[in-house]
Amino acid sequence: MVTSEFVQNLFSIQGKVAIVTGATGALGHAIALGYGHAGAKVLCTARHEDKLKELVDSMTQAGMTAAYCVGDPASEDDVQRIVEAAVAQYGEVNILCTCHGYSKPKSILEQETAEWQQMMDANVKGVYLFAKYAGKQMVAQGKPGKMVITSSARSKRGMKGYTGYSTSKGAVDLLAQSLACDLGEFGITVNTFNPTVFRSELTEWMFHNDQVYQNFLKRIPIGRLGEPEDFVGSAIFLASDASNFITAANVPVDGGYWGN
């Protein structure tokens, strides 16, 4: 039944407990703030405590409910400890949003195998581990849950120098679809959203190099590169009841990159 209450609460994540990984990066920072402003209780995690503390302090001072736990997403012990910290702090886990990641573009002829493995560990293993332990917690709670996984537009379109990154993100897309099959019977949805290039410490230079910037725009119909805040709406949508019948999806949030 489509009632006023139903519609008004469709996009609400008020009171939900969310783990946001990579919370000190440009994307994770924006989504942590977005979830916090939307009324969620946010457990922020990343590898650098000073930046985490700064973020969480700013969130609590603004009236949001937030805490942090330091850890490496590629460490099984750390991931288990982070999920346990969220439960200890807030009693449960309702939303997992993975925003961590690593890229080191380089030709396969020059890249060390260890560099390739680092990307796979950060981008694939880290998602697998968080999904595993957050999933176990969600199943134990006996409640529906939401997994929102950051992938990339590069997951389906390769690029010179991206044999590591594109491969890892392609794996993330298929991992999310498989997780959806594993976890659907428990009321847990799993989806990716797939950004194109957006502003961050690593990409800021692209925004100030007109030749590079214009070259990117040849494949982006919307006419600009992304900003971190461009992805907050998708992250809230995929964490809310509005997306209850969407799972195993790879959602392009890419300015039209995939369609061009």
Residue numbers annotated as active site: 165
CB atoms within 10 A of CB 215: 11
Helix (H) or strand (E) holding 96: strand 95-98
Q: How far is CA 168 from CA 79, 163, 199, in A?
A: 19, 9, 21
CA–CA gap between residue 151 and residue 235 (Å, rounded): 12
Residues contacting residue 260 through CB under 8 Å, at least 6 positions apart: 219, 220, 221
CA–CA gap between residue 9 and residue 240 (Å, rounded): 9
68 close to 81: Cβ distance less than 8 angstroms: no
Name the 3-class secondary structure at 49.
Answer: helix
CB atoms within 10 A of CB 2: 7
CB atoms within 10 A of CB 56: 21
Q: Which residue has the tokens 């390769």?
A: 158
What strands, in cross-sheet order, belong to the sheet with 41-46? 65-70, 41-46, 17-21, 95-98, 145-150, 188-195, 250-253
Pairing mode of beta strands 65-70, 95-98: unpaired
